[in-house]
Amino acid sequence: MAFRWKNDLKDCDVTDEAVFLNRRQLMAGAAAGIGLAATAGGRVGAAGELVPNAWEDITQYNNFYEFGTGKSDPVTYADELTTTPWTVTIDGMVDRPADYAFEDIMKAMTVEERIYRLRCVEAWSMVVPWNGFELADLLDLAGVQEGAKYVRFETLYRPEEFRGQRNGWIDWPYVEGLRMDEAMHPLTIMATGIYGRDIPNQNGAPLRLVVPWKYGFKSIKSVVRITLTDEQPVNTWQQILPNEYGFYSNVNPNVDHPRWSQATERVIGGGLFQPRIPTLMFNGYEKEVAAMYEGMDLKKFY
């Protein structure tokens, strides 16, 4: 399995949490009394680099309704999920539809580290050092056909292990979708690790989508099916509350949720007196992704 460093965000090719934390302390020290500052778009170190959250923040404060709706339900019940064997069905408008074994996918993909901001629609955020591969590379493996316009994703449905799936208010399995250009964008990854370790169950083992410029709920966990289609998929949150959650769900400080402002966010791990920070357009990835939405009314296509 190759490991290649590529990132638009400033950082070095560290793969281990200890190195990250050590580096964070060094940066804090270098700032001589200033320490880590929280500015728009996450916590930044003295050199202006994005500082990932601690392993504990990332793996103990989660949204994964398959395990329950509480933030600590996913870590509490994570062990009830088995992730071996794991296959991902890639079907629909592809040249090579098949059940792809997770190990075979990993052999074919190049895993890299990507330090991304994660902004939940509930107005909290963190910074996560993911390991993963570009979704585009996986789709190339299956061979996307000409007429495909969207990608539809499904999470595992296994109520024996996912206790949250034993109640009926969500029409399981969890579904998400992307437009083809969004799916093929180099920032869009399938994450298989965090801090160089296998991704924990509560974060969506063994592989989950990460789309950093969209609200967190687009980043569907524990994916078992990827379908190429010419129809725009109806994603789970759009189905439940269509007036509140749309298909696009791009992070946008200027388009409020009907029940709360999206202008600012609470930084997880920032401590009790950490002020809220301004939310950035497209979660700070405007330069990379804005062109895909040129001419679109983002208030209408929320």
Residues within the interface to ligand MTE (CB under 6 A): 62-66, 118, 120, 155, 174, 203-204, 216-217, 219-221
Rounded-to-integer distance, Cα 120 and Cα 290, Å:
19
Scanning the chain, the segments in alpha helix (DSSP H) are 17-30, 55-60, 73-77, 102-108, 135-142, 180-184, 236-240, 286-289
Minimum CB distance to Mo ion, residue 100 (Å): 27
Position among 217, 237, 247, 293 found at the interface with Mo ion (CB under 5 A): 217
> Is 144 or 176 the residue whose CB approaches ligand MTE more closely?
176
Alpha-carbon 88 to chain mean position: 18
Contact call for residue 120 and Mo ion (CB under 5 A) = yes
Task: Measure the CA–CA gap between 227 and 139, rounded to whole angstroms.
Answer: 10
Q: How far apart are CA 204 and CA 206, in angstroms?
A: 6
Mark the segment that binds Mo ion (CB under 5 A) among 29-37, 55-63, 182-190, 221-229. Answer: 55-63
The nearer residue to ligand MTE, 64 or 248, going by C-beta atoms, is 64
Alpha-carbon distance 25 to 167, whole Å? 44
Which of the choices Mo ion, ligand MTE, none does residue 219 contact, using the CB cut-off of 5 to 8 A by kind? ligand MTE
Supply the minimum distance, in Å, between the C-beta of residue 104 and ligand MTE: 23
Q: What angle do CA 116, 237, 296 make, to 5 degrees?
A: 70
Residue 155, contacted partner among Mo ion, ligand MTE, none, CB below 5-8 A by kind: ligand MTE
| Tokens (6 digits) for 78 | 């994570």
Q: How far apart are CA 242 and CA 76, in angstroms?
A: 30
Query: Quick one: 80 or 140, whose CB is closer to ligand MTE?
Result: 80
Comparison of 27 and 64: residue with beta carbon closer to ligand MTE: 64
Q: Which is nearer to ligand MTE, 62 or 252 (CB)?
A: 62
Residues 62-101 that bind Mo ion (CB under 5 A): 63
Q: Does 212 bind Mo ion (CB under 5 A)?
A: no
DSSP 8-state class, residue 47: T
Binding site for Mo ion (CB under 5 A): 63, 120, 216-217
